[in-house]
């Protein structure tokens, strides 16, 4: 019996899928942070190359992937689709659990799917240097890898407390040639001001974003790069769901019953679910499920309104679910899910009843992660483990109801650089 579907490099999708033109309620434009007026391409030009600004706003459904991008994506794509037969057996469920294994990328997560085209488009428009922020380090790793492929300098502002606690992530970025400083840093005015107040400031994602944006705005040679939330980022991630559709067909599945992804800013969830969202909008019987931490319950408890993307209010305002841009989530292990807002596309789908959301405490999440590791062999990232938890609960619900439910979830990243979280869980040091 086959339980793992691999595809040749020729099966990488040749275009990204844009859900925007299919949304029943159209997306509203971003608003300029100062004027409150709709922000146009010229407002975004200091930060992003024109190709990405166009993708952010395009009404086109399909966007061709440049050959130079495909050349790098095929280092690890197509990624495998796996049926979790060992987990199914352990659960005694009639459900079929499939996962899309995005952990096989060089950086160990789905993040390079967008880091690579972002680096490419900047390089193509003559930009030799990118600035970005990173919390847990996944995004900074992905962009450093992408920078090495196109010979771009990458400057990463890494939240100071992570910089100290996760030295391996820093070294990984440096191995690919990235420059990493703890944020707050003395490279920016905002960083200097914070350090003057408190030289031991632990940093925050909002502050690191502000530093990375200041860096890009002040330097002609530098653009800013973001790893989630924005439309063009989610767009680049749709290769995940497009490949999964082809692979499910090989497995004899016309349509899954539920598609699941962990949700922080929304990029891995959007990547796997948006190609199915179109089917759903057209009446197909497929549920889409966002999984978030109880400690940062943006979709399940946030307000739907315009808000800033960062703490300092330097970004355009986006219409989305938000806990307020000054919300400070507790320091849970799934650092990638600690974001006050959410992708406008994901928010739009939830608001319009096309996507469900559920929140879990981290103890139940790690319980699922360990069960997955001991059956399927793979050790999931803390973020990914939220999707694992939800997939297991769907499978148990299907067992109770005697349903052969087909569950698809995004295995967005491995946990090999997050093992201290497992140490805490296994030794009873984890709090919810």
Residues that bind a second copy (CB under 8 A): 2-4, 6-10, 74-76, 86, 104, 106, 108, 145, 148-149, 167-168, 171-172, 174-177, 370, 373-379, 416-417, 419-420, 422-423, 426
Q: Which is nearer to a second copy, 163 or 224 (CB)?
A: 163
Q: Which is nearer to a second copy, 239 or 289 (CB)?
A: 239
| CB of 155 vs a second copy, minimal distance in Å | 17
Rounded CA gap, 369 and 386, in Å? 8
The burial of 387, by beta-carbon neighbours within 10 Å (0-12 exposed, 13-18 middle, 19 or more buried), is given as: buried
* 324: CB partners within 8 A, 6+ apart: 303, 307, 340
| CB of 250 vs a second copy, minimal distance in Å | 10
| CB of 417 vs a second copy, minimal distance in Å | 6
Q: Which is nearer to a second copy, 52 or 378 (CB)?
A: 378
| CB of 107 vs a second copy, minimal distance in Å | 8
Q: Which is nearer to a second copy, 58 or 148 (CB)?
A: 148
| CB of 277 vs a second copy, minimal distance in Å | 29
| CB of 170 vs a second copy, minimal distance in Å | 8
Q: Which is nearer to a second copy, 8 or 220 (CB)?
A: 8
Q: Which is nearer to a second copy, 4 or 401 (CB)?
A: 4
| CB of 370 vs a second copy, minimal distance in Å | 6
| CB of 337 vs a second copy, minimal distance in Å | 20
Q: Is the dihedral of CA 376, 379, 380, 386 positive or negative?
A: positive
| CB of 243 vs a second copy, minimal distance in Å | 13
* 64: CB partners within 8 A, 6+ apart: 14, 15
Q: Which is nearer to a second copy, 167 or 324 (CB)?
A: 167
Instruction: Yes or no: say if 163 and 138 are a contact pair by the CB < 8 Å rule.
Output: no
| CB of 75 vs a second copy, minimal distance in Å | 5
Q: Which is nearer to a second copy, 37 or 423 (CB)?
A: 423
Q: Which is nearer to a second copy, 2 or 35 (CB)?
A: 2
Q: Which is nearer to a second copy, 166 or 317 (CB)?
A: 166
Rounded CA gap, 312 and 187, in Å? 17
């Amino acid at each position: 019996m086959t339980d793992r579907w691999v595809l040749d490099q020729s099966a990488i999708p040749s275009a990204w899928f844009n859900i925007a033109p299919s949304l029943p309620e159209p997306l509203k434009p971003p608003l300029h942070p100062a004027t409150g007026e709709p922000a146009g391409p010229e407002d975004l030009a200091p930060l992003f190359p024109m190709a990405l600004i166009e993708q952010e706003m395009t009404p086109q459904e399909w966007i061709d992937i440049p050959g130079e991008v495909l050349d790098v994506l095929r280092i690890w794509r197509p990624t495998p689709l796996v049926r979790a037969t060992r987990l199914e057996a352990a659960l005694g469920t009639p459900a079929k659990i499939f996962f899309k294994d995005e952990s096989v990328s060089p950086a160990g997560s789905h993040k390079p799917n967008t880091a690579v085209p972002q680096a490419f488009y900047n390089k193509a428009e003559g930009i030799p240097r990118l600035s970005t922020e990173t919390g847990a380090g996944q995004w900074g790793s992905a962009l450093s890898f992408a920078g090495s492929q196109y010979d771009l300098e990458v400057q990463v502002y890494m939240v100071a407390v992570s910089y100290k606690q996760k030295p391996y992530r820093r070294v990984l970025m440096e191995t690919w040639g990235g420059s990493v400083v703890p944020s707050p840093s003395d490279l920016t005015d905002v960083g200097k001001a914070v350090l003057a107040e408190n030289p031991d400031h632990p940093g925050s994602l909002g502050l690191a974003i502000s530093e990375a944006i200041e860096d890009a705005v002040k330097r002609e040679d530098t653009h800013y790069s973001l790893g989630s939330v924005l439309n063009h980022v989610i767009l680049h991630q749709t290769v995940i769901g497009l490949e999964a559709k082809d692979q499910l067909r090989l497995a004899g599945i016309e349509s899954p019953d539920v598609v699941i992804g962990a949700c922080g800013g929304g990029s891995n969830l959007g990547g796997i679910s948006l190609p199915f969202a179109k089917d759903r909008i057209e009446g197909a019987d497929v549920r889409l499920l966002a999984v978030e931490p109880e400690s940062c319950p943006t979709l399940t408890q946030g307000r739907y309104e315009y808000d800033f993307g960062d703490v300092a209010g330097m970004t355009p305002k986006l219409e989305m679910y938000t806990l307020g841009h000054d919300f400070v989530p507790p320091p849970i292990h799934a650092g990638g899910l600690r974001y006050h807002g959410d992708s406008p596309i994901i928010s739009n789908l939830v608001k319009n009843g096309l996507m469900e959301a559920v929140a879990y405490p981290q103890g139940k999440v790690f319980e699922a992660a360990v069960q997955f590791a001991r059956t399927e062999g793979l050790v999931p990232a803390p973020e990914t483990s939220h999707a694992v938890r939800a997939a297991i609960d769907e499978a148990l619900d299907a067992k109770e109801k005697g349903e052969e439910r087909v569950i698809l979830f995004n295995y967005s990243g491995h946990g090999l650089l997050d093992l201290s979280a497992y140490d805490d869980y296994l030794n009873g040091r984890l709090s919810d």
